[in-house]
Structure 1
């Protein structure tokens, strides 16, 4: 995990003048960590890390899919032209809605666990 944090710090210094720097910038703009981005793209974290550190480059099909995942155009990833990441506008309302949605999902999961336990207790009493 520490080596991934170091890689992220190194790739963040690359700026937007390389493919790896643009991949980092776009990933950071959508709020994904390296592990989650790699998982969503269906590659190993080490592969994603190599791309961000400019040690390797994604194939065309992965680059196009990556662009969609990161909300940028493939041409922006390749050359810095075209649609890049959206400007960072901190939206506290959106943050609150996400927090409420997460809390609601947790509450529903807890309620389901309670119902499952009640059902198990009832079955145990009948046995």
Structure 2
């Protein structure tokens, strides 16, 4: 896990949860919605201010595509670099789509304003 900015001995549950969520290409809002928890609660988990109950640990493991063992201890199957790359590509595509839509809206507004 050194490629993620921290070593196995240094990573906390919150670190692993954040890495897995980002590797899955999910925002805090997305994952909170899927889990049925408040964004603030998920943020507390990622910030190591609180820990999820056991029932959420199992759900998180499945939703994020990592083993429960890795999520809890850092040993076993965690997020792969390929997953992170795929998530980055998907996010870039979403941003490009949003930019194209915003450009179209801006062009329509400029036309309206120019024609008074």
Verify same fold: TM over 0.5: yes
Following superposition, which runs of at least 4 residues in structure 1 exceed 4 angstroms of deviation?
A: 12-16
Which aligned pairs between 1:35-114 and structure 2 lie closer than 5 A?
Answer: 35-88=29-82, 90=85, 95=90
Instruction: State the shift of 1:58 in Å.
Output: 0.4
Q: Structure 2: which 5+ residue stretches go unaligned?
A: 98-116
RMSD value, Cα:
2.6
Rg larger in 1 or in 2? 1
Q: Structure 1: which 5+ residue stretches go unaligned?
A: 1-11, 103-127
How many corresponding residue pairs?
Answer: 85
Higher relative contact order (CA 8 A, sep 6+): 2
Aligned equivalents of 2:50, 2:74: Cα separation in 1: 18
3-state DSSP of counterpart to 2:81: coil
Q: TM-score, normalised by structure 1?
A: 0.58
